[in-house]
Amino acid sequence: MDYSGRVNSKKGAGGVAGAEETNVHTRQRIKELLATQVLDLDNDPYVFRNHLGLLECRLCLTTHVSESSYISHLGGKKHRMGLEKRRALDEKYSQNRSLNTKINSIVSITNTAKRSWTKVGKPAYKLTKIRDPETFQKGLLVDIKYPKITVEEPFFRFMSYYELSEATDPSNLQYLVISAEPYENICFIIPNDKEIDKPVEQGEMSKSYWWFWDSDAKQFFLQFLYREIGEGDKEQNK
């Protein structure tokens, strides 16, 4: 058989297609695509028509002059690879969201219902400066009355400047906050130049640091003394 009229062809293969044959094959392929697929612009999340009337693929960032061109693009390698990458990313994000949701459901503070009550104002209180007759330690005695208290007993906490930003000099002040529902919280500003003589273990009481709740009289007492500065500390402070 004579192959001389077929440029760049090999034995056993057809000749190289010309421009006319290529156009015929393209029209036939487009006709088959249009017959088997119907383009629905409303349901396809990746296609939209721009202001010039051209179709664009959001996934591949390509532009197409007609619907047949876009349908041909859907069957191409680039679009298939884009769909595969998007599927892998969606799976990764869904796993991360499910993990974050599980963690938040365990440790999130939003799981605890916020307490709300009608406040009845501030309680009557009395603050007295005291001195221990034996050790001559100075301190304070707090006396607060809660006749309409709704909890078992009040609770208190010593707080620093960084927790309550109201002081002008954070190094010289600290705060004693006492709370008991349904009363408003009350706060006492205490000098921070001396250390309170408290036990080492938290929640323990001592002779110089104690509190008492009288459930019958609805009265709360809190007493603390300042630690005395030794002779070596006095010389160091000088």
Neighbours of 141 (CB within 10 A): 14
pLDDT value, residue 154: 92
pLDDT value, residue 229: 62
pLDDT value, residue 16: 62
pLDDT value, residue 135: 87
Reported pTM = 0.47
pLDDT value, residue 145: 93
Classify domain 124-230 at the CATH topology level.
Immunoglobulin-like (2.60.40)
pLDDT value, residue 174: 84
Q: Which residue has the tokens 């500065």?
A: 229
Amino acid type, 96: N
pLDDT value, residue 1: 45
Structure letter (DSSP) for residue 188: E
How many Å apart are CA 186 and CA 145, to the nearest integer?
12
Residue ranges for the chain with pLDDT beneath 70: 1-17, 31, 33-41, 102-115, 164-171, 229-238
- Give the pLDDT confidence of 165-219 residue by residue, as tens digits: 554 555 678 888 999 988 998 988 888 778 888 888 887 888 899 999 999 999 9
